[in-house]
Amino acid sequence: MDFGAIGGIPLGGRVIKNGVMLAPMAGATDHAMRVICRGHGMEYSVSEMVSAKAMSHDDKKTRRLYEIRDDDGMMGVQIFGSDPETMARAARTLAEGTPNKPAAIDINMGCPVTKIVKNGYGSALMRSPKLAADIVRACARALEGTGIPVTVKIRAGWDGNKNAVEVAKRVEDAGASMITVHGRTREQMYSPPVNLEIIADVKDAVSAPVVGNGDVRSWRDAVEMLDKTGVDGIAIGRGALGNPWIFEEINAHMNGVDWTPPTPAERIAEAIKHAELLVADKGGRIGLFESRKHLAWYIHGMRGAPEARDRIMRAETLDEMRNILLSMEAALL
């Protein structure tokens, strides 16, 4: 596959040059993770999903989710909801009420979590193509004159009826500038393997750039995604958890450059940096709590990881976490 066929995606006057981006993941793709991934070649990211309804209450916790800082780089903000008017107000607020403007407003039509879909949000919109289009149309109108485009994240469908092509056509007609497709239905959640055929079908059906999402954990997975779908870009989600080097890896192969995987010492050093960023951003209690899962992802598969993970889960300070990891590193020498 010619990696030169990927990237160059226009987005509101900007361009995603290499086409490899960080997919939004609730509870994971916060500021700390975006900074870490940017340091390894990630060019574009989308925020954790933000409730359009909660935005109307000007909640402090919600504001933190969509805050764009100078070191976030090129970043979109993802919103979720089911009422076109509420979604449009949220889109306009993000366009006008934030110091650093988002590169795009992304509409979540892919989240499969029960507490989201039971309210008609996320991937529940795959059951209502007309409503999905109405939401995109309302947001696009609300953003007229701002230069900020609307993008959409969808799934293959809700259940066995894989209607991603229909939904993609409708949202494109309504004003979507880019469509990301996770190649599983809501019913399938995160298994079995992603269906590349449905992503290819969407790519063939629309003119807007299409981004493939699901099961990309290495450059070989990226090649397979490109070979079988012809997408314009790749959004990496779980493949980046504990492995921000995946962006370096794919970028290196795109450019025909040799790439060496990180050593255990480098993985541990990056894990410590990630924990430090989380604590600096969110304070000791929340930052330490959220660090636990990230540190477990970084050390997964390394010798001594199960024991270190158990100790990390009980650690009460950043210094304690740091010492656990450094002791693990020393034992590997």
Query: Cβ contacts of residue 79 below 8 Å, gap of 6+?
Result: 49, 50, 51, 52, 55, 87, 90, 91, 94, 105, 106, 107, 108
Instruction: State how far the Cα of 221 lies from the Cα of 238, in Å rounded to an integer.
Output: 13
Q: Rounded to 10 degrees, what is the CA torsion of 107, 109, 113, 118?
A: 100
111 is catalytic: yes
Question: What is the residue-wise DSSP string for 178-210?
Answer: EEEEEEEETTTTT-S---HHHHHHHHHH-SS-E
Tell me the residue type at 175. Answer: G
Residue 311 φ/ψ region, left for φ over 0, alpha for ψ in the -120 to 50 degree band, beta for the rest: alpha
**Any idea where the domains of the chain sit in the sequence?**
3-254, 264-332
Q: Does domain 3-254 have CATH number 3.50.50.60?
A: no
Q: Give the 3-state secondary structure of residue 257.
A: coil
Q: In tens digits, what is the pLDDT along the chain, a chain of 333 residues?
A: 555 668 899 999 999 999 999 999 999 999 999 999 999 999 999 999 999 999 988 778 898 999 999 999 999 999 999 999 999 999 999 999 777 899 999 999 999 999 999 999 999 999 999 999 999 999 999 999 999 999 999 999 999 889 999 999 999 999 999 999 999 999 999 999 999 999 999 999 999 999 999 999 999 999 999 999 999 999 999 999 999 999 999 999 988 999 999 999 999 999 999 999 999 999 999 999 999 999 999 999 999 999 999 999 999 999 999 999 999 999 987
For 193-314, strand residue ranges (E) read 210-213, 233-236
Inter-CA distances, 197 with 30, 56, 200, 253, Å: 31, 39, 5, 24
Question: Cβ atoms within 10 A of the Cβ of 261, count?
Answer: 10
pTM: 0.95
Position 98 scores a pLDDT of 72
Query: Cβ contacts of residue 168 below 8 Å, gap of 6+?
Result: 152, 154, 179, 181, 202, 205, 206, 210
Position 4 scores a pLDDT of 60
Position 3 scores a pLDDT of 59
Which residues share a beta bridge with 157? Answer: 185
Instruction: State how far the Cα of 117 lies from the Cα of 225, in Å rounded to an integer.
Output: 28
Cα dihedral sign for 207, 17, 242, 80? negative
Position 2 scores a pLDDT of 57
- Measured between its terminal Cα atoms, the distance across the chain in Å is 39
Q: Give the 3-state secondary structure of residue 126.
A: helix
Catalytic: which of 32, 111, 194, 211?
111
Instruction: State how far the Cα of 78 lies from the Cα of 65, in Å rounded to an integer.
Output: 10
Q: Does domain 264-332 have CATH number 1.10.4160?
A: no
